[in-house]
Amino acid sequence: MFLKNTWYVVCSSSDLTDKPLGRTICNERMVFYRDEHQHVAALEDFCPHRGAPLSLGFVKNGQLHCGYHGLVMGCEGRTVAMPGQRVKNFPEIRTFAAHEQYGFIWVWPGDPARADTALIPHLEWHNNPAWAYGGGLYHIQCDYRLMIDNLMDLTHETYVHANSIGQPEIDETPCETSVDGDRVVTSRRMYNIPAPPFWRMALRGNGLADDVPVDRWQICRFTPPSHIMIEVGVAHAGHGGYDAPDSHKVYSVVVDFLTPETETSMWYFWGMARKFKPDDAELTQSIREGQGKIFSEDLQMLERQQQNLTRHAGRRLLNLNIDAGGAHSRRVIERLLKTD
């Protein structure tokens, strides 16, 4: 149910310090650390000596030491040394391809030989002075595909996020969904509507009037395995909407990386990259807090939905037009799973 030969986000770069980090991804317990060149290594979180988790150990001179009896594990999964032992014949442990790029640590849970860092999605806003970024992480007890459904159908904003980004015009405006190979896009454009509270805050943050009609857009882009970038924003009405000049709009990309933990749990990396007032750190913090609060409103719904689906396994659900984005994304995953 999840692709393994692909890149998933493990954590943000700053979360991997000089200590090892343990994390379960696609049902595999992994340990991550930085070697002597600060390159990221990823291994099975299992010491070949007695099965202790290596993530309880420590890193010294770029080498991972088991915290139980001091076995030194190499980034190739072969034991390098252990006090008083000949380690040549120690069994190997699994390794995973890992890579640091665009401010995140990425892992390829499948065959390391097939891992190609060129396949890591390009994040143009990273280290780009025209952009600012802020984000966070939620651990959610649901199948990651329920979150794909959620993000590829933003009509839920009207109900789940009624006081921040929801507004009835979302429901009233049909979305358009298209598929291009492995990519799915579902988009909605609304014209001459009031701006909801979150976007009023953003307009003010960009020095723009917040009490005039706006044009609003939502362009959700799914790429496998489960990355969803959503172009969002509002422009003062009548200046071209999505294509309005920067001086009349607020433009952002909602960044969503969904990393499966188990069949019914996931890591949700969320964030927002914006293309206005990139140097305003206070604004970055306001947006991050606002977004964190909004996105937390989905958690209970998703976890309770998962419980319902677990109780009623096999029960048929509806696939409406609004679900087309999620349905097509799931179909892409299904197709890719056949050759994964």
* SS3 of residue 117 by DSSP: helix
Q: Which is nearer to a copy of itself, 293 or 312 (CB)?
A: 312
| Cα 319 to Cα 312: distance, rounded to the nearest angstrom | 17
Q: Is 136 in the site for a copy of itself (CB under 8 A)?
A: no
Nearest alpha-carbon partner for 305 in 65, 145, 129, 108: 145
Q: Is 305 in the site for a copy of itself (CB under 8 A)?
A: yes
Beta-ladder partners of 270:
136, 256
Q: Using CB under 8 A, which of 14, 51, 118, 180 touches a copy of itself?
A: 51
Q: Is 49 in the site for a copy of itself (CB under 8 A)?
A: yes
| Cα 9 to Cα 289: distance, rounded to the nearest angstrom | 21
Q: Using CB under 8 A, which of 141, 158, 264, 286 touches a copy of itself?
A: 158
Q: Which is nearer to a copy of itself, 19 or 50 (CB)?
A: 50
Tell me if the bond preceding 245 is cis, omega within 30° of 0: no
Q: Is 321 in the site for a copy of itself (CB under 8 A)?
A: yes
Q: Using CB under 8 A, which of 48, 74, 77, 325 touches a copy of itself?
A: 48
Q: Using CB under 8 A, which of 5, 95, 155, 206 touches a copy of itself?
A: 155
Q: Is 72 in the site for a copy of itself (CB under 8 A)?
A: no
* Residue 43 C-beta-side C-alpha neighbours within 13 Å: 27
Whole-number minimum distance, CB 316 to a copy of itself, in Å? 7
CB of 209 closer than 8 Å to CB of 236:
yes
Write out the two tokens for 14. 């700053």
Q: Which residues contact 57 (CB under 8 A, 6 or more apart)?
A: 20, 47, 64, 65, 66, 67, 68
Number of residues that bind a copy of itself (CB under 8 A): 51
Whole-number minimum distance, CB 181 to a copy of itself, in Å? 26
Strands (E), the chain: 8-12, 21-25, 28-34, 40-44, 58-60, 63-65, 72-73, 79-81, 95-101, 104-108, 132-140, 176-180, 183-193, 214-223, 227-236, 249-262, 265-274
Q: Is 331 in the site for a copy of itself (CB under 8 A)?
A: no
Q: Is 67 in the site for a copy of itself (CB under 8 A)?
A: yes
**DSSP assignment of 176-238:** EEEEETTEEEEEEEEEEEPPPHHHHHHHHHTT--SSS-EEEEEEEEEETTTEEEEEEEEEETT
Q: Which is nearer to a copy of itself, 84 or 207 (CB)?
A: 84
Question: By CB under 8 A, which span of 12-20, 150-158, 215-223, 225-233 interacts with a copy of itself?
Answer: 150-158
Question: By CB under 8 A, which span of 3-11, 60-68, 135-143, 263-271 interacts with a copy of itself?
Answer: 60-68
| Cα 255 to Cα 288: distance, rounded to the nearest angstrom | 12
Whole-number minimum distance, CB 239 to a copy of itself, in Å? 27
Whole-number minimum distance, CB 180 to a copy of itself, in Å? 24
Q: Is 34 in the site for a copy of itself (CB under 8 A)?
A: no
Question: By CB under 8 A, which span of 112-120, 232-240, 250-258, 318-326 interacts with a copy of itself?
Answer: 318-326
List residues near a copy of itself by CB under 8 A: 29, 45-46, 48-53, 56-57, 65-70, 82-85, 90-91, 149, 153, 155-156, 158-160, 168, 171-172, 174, 300-301, 304-305, 307-309, 311-312, 315-318, 320-323
